[in-house]
Chains A and B, each alone.
Chain A
């Protein structure tokens, strides 16, 4: 099931293009929206949350157009990036009041708020004014208001900003738990390793255009101009190198303490070859084979050229 679809979606602010001809389908599950600053992430977020109207093209969320369709927000929870609250209200009051805008009666809204606050581990501070919260607590209460009404789709803009490392891990774990329970999550961030810890399904934006979408490993495979880097730990590094250099796909070899690092343009064939070598035992044990750049950082770096 696709949660967000856009067709030739464009948005410009006067002469400046914020988003340019974006056509994507975001599947259910957890999807990471990535891009450097100024890439168009915020614009895309605002378009899919109905804050902005497309200049061209269309965007549908959960199968319906989002602009001027407030009823759809019954199924969507949004955690915006900005650190802005009604500082005079307590966390509990604020989340209850916002939950009440979903049609819950007072009692149900209060219960929903209490559950959401417990989920983000803020129960002890719930009756303090938001103005007295730390940055991390403010971030968590923002998450609480997004989940209080148990939406089908959670749209989170930099949800881990301001949290300490322990709370980040817990929040990532919580997000994965929500996804397992059937909630789709679209997370925008530029902290790559956190996105990587949540999902391998990404949407990469740069300069207002979609650069890549899908599984990060599949994307990596498709990046031809950057040969795959494979690190092999073995005692007989030189002998293995001599053997591998005969392969056409091998671009370069360099030696590291304890092994060698190979660049290959044909990763599948290369892995099959190394497997055969390891199985044959001709060059002694091969202790470890890893790919340092089969990850999000490498994809990001190669595609965004930063």
Chain B
């Protein structure tokens, strides 16, 4: 080869790593896990549709009769917002670099003429595409299973908002846990403690603490009423103070940007010692 190409720029390197990682993420066994947990709400929606269609038992939530739209809203809250989005963020975000370290394949990426940070960003992009490609269609299926066609026009804007906020939630949690995965030795425990510990507590406590959670801003964008089952949810709904939507979007975008920037810094300064 008489002429060597110019080493890829940061962005070009990230795009190439994205191409390499997307296939690995989409066709791995983890996708089974991803499909299972995003398939469950679809299954629930199917059950609800059948129950509703049979006319034998009217759909009820906590004893009160509800329509499909309300159940869709409940599922957005209970499944997607409170579980699927943060868990996927922890699951995939912390694994972006940690998986390569564990599999001892990181060396191949870090001995290429691309910045280490580009590797992180490229894998993050692959995570975004993989998760939104599976989660958003699940939401679409649930929507069309639950919401009667006659109500689609009325609820479509809220539905589009749901899709957008879920994508934004995936991006924000993913970036945050990509940083955690790049910077910490045991990112999984830290991630789970953040999601199921810190965020749950901070949302319950009155005051400014909730502003240091991602959930506060994502949940503020939800166009559906928060379901109140149990003391915790009741407290959360009482103590909610929703910032304006634009503020939430900007904060979440800032979280993505800051977390990725810090993650890039962490990856470029850290030494990764692979098990031999």
Using CB atoms and an 8 Å cutoff, list the residues of chain A in contact with chain B: 13, 42, 46, 49-53, 68, 70-76, 78, 80-82, 84-86, 88-89, 97-98, 100-104, 108, 112, 145, 149-150
Residue pair A101, B20 in contact (C-beta under 8 Å): yes
Question: Are the CB atoms of B1 and A71 closer together than 8 Å?
Answer: no
Is B30 among interface residues, defined by CB-CB distance under 8 A?
Answer: no
For residue A43, which residue of chain B has the nearest CB?
A: B273
B105→A101 contact, CB < 8 A:
no
Of B27, B104, B268, most buried by chain A (CB within 10 Å of CB) is: B104
Name the residue on B nearest A78 (C-beta): B111
Q: Contact flags (1/0) for B245-276 with A, using CB distance below 8 Å?
A: 00000000000000000000000100111101
User: Interface on chain B toward A: helix, strand, loop, or mixed SS?
Assistant: loop
Give the contacting residue for B271; candidates A52, A103, A149, A150; CB below 8 A: A52
> Closest chain A residue to B27 by CB distance?
A88
Q: Is B116 an interface residue (CB 8 A)?
A: yes
Shortest Cβ distance from A92 into chain B, in angstroms? 14
Q: Which residue of chain B has the shortest Cβ distance to A75 in the bound complex?
A: B4
B1-30 interface with A by 8 A CB criterion: 1, 4-8, 12-13, 16-17, 19-20, 23-24, 27-28
CB distance from A237 to the nearest CB of B (A): 51
11 examples of A-B residue contacts, CB within 8 angstroms: A42-B276, A46-B273, A49-B107, A51-B110, A51-B271, A68-B268, A73-B7, A84-B104, A84-B274, A98-B108, A102-B8
From residue B120, how far is it (CB to closest CB) to chain A in Å?
A: 13
Residues of B100-132 at the interface with A, using a CB-CB cut-off of 8 Å, are 103-105, 107-116
Shortest Cβ-Cβ A-B pairs, 3 listed: A103-B5, A84-B104, A101-B112
Q: Is the CB of B113 within 8 A of A73?
A: yes
Q: Which residues of B contact A104 (CB under 8 A)?
A: 5
Chain A residues within 8 Å of B23, by CB: 88-89
B274 touches A149 (CB 8 A): no
For the complex, give the distance between the alpha carbons of A98 and B111 in Å. 10
A134 to B148 CA separation, bound complex (whole angstroms):
57
B254 CB to nearest A CB, Å: 27
The answer to whether A88 touches B113, judged by C-beta atoms less than 8 angstroms apart, is no
Of the candidates B5, B24, B271, the one whose C-beta lies within 8 Å of that of A53 is B271
Give the shortest distance, in Å, between A268 (CB) and chain B (any CB).
Answer: 43
By a CB distance below 8 angstroms, the chain A residues around B104 are: 82, 84
Q: How far is the CB of B262 from chain A (nearest CB, A)?
A: 17
The listed residue (B7, B115, B272) touching A103 by CB distance below 8 A is B7
Give the distance in Å from the alpha carbon of A149 to the alpha carbon of B13 in the complex.
16
Q: Which of A42, A71, A101 has the most CB of B within 10 A?
A: A101
Docked complex Cα distance between A88 and B109 (Å): 17
A285 to chain B, nearest CB (A): 54
Residue of B nearest to A148 (CB): B1
Do B111 and A102 touch across chains, with their CB atoms under 8 A apart?
A: no
Q: Does A88 lie within 8 Å of B4, measured CB to CB?
A: no
Contact of A149 among B4, B8, B17, B109 (CB under 8 A): B4
Do B16 and A51 have beta carbons less than 8 Å apart? no
> Residues of A contacting B4 with CB < 8 Å?
74-75, 102, 149-150
User: CA of A51 to CA of B270 in the docked complex: distance in angstroms?
Assistant: 9
Q: Are A103 and B107 in touch, CB under 8 angstroms? A: no
Report chain A residues within 8 Å CB of B111. 49-51, 73, 76, 78, 80
Q: Once the chains bind, are B16 and A82 in contact (CB under 8 Å)?
A: no
Asked if B274 and A98 make an inter-chain contact with CB atoms under 8 angstroms apart, the answer reads no
* Alpha-carbon distance A71/B9, docked complex (angstroms): 10
Contact A101 B110 (CB under 8 A): no
Taking a contact as CB atoms closer than 8 A, the residue among B17, B116, B274 that contacts A70 in the complex is B116
Q: How far is the CA of A303 from the CA of B104 in the complex (A)?
A: 33
Interface string of B59-75 (1 = CB under 8 A from A): 00000000000000000
Q: Are A81 and B105 in contact (CB under 8 A)?
A: no
CB-nearest residue of chain B to A142:
B108
Separation of A53 and B110 alpha carbons in the complex (Å): 13
Task: Give Cα distance in the complex from A89 to B23, angstroms.
Answer: 9
Q: Which residue of A lies closest to B270 (CB)?
A: A53
In the complex, which residues of chain B have a beta carbon less than 8 angstroms from the beta carbon of A97? 16, 19-20
**Contact indicator A145/B114 (Cβ below 8 Å):** no
B-side contacts of A53, CB under 8 Å: 271
CB distance from B21 to the nearest CB of A (A): 9
Q: Is the CB of B116 within 8 A of A100?
A: no
Closest Cβ of chain B to A201, distance in Å, is: 24
With both chains docked as a complex, state the minimum distance between the C-beta of B136 and any C-beta of chain A, in angstroms: 25
* B8 engages A103 (CB within 8 Å): yes
Cα of A50 to Cα of B4 in the assembled complex, Å: 21
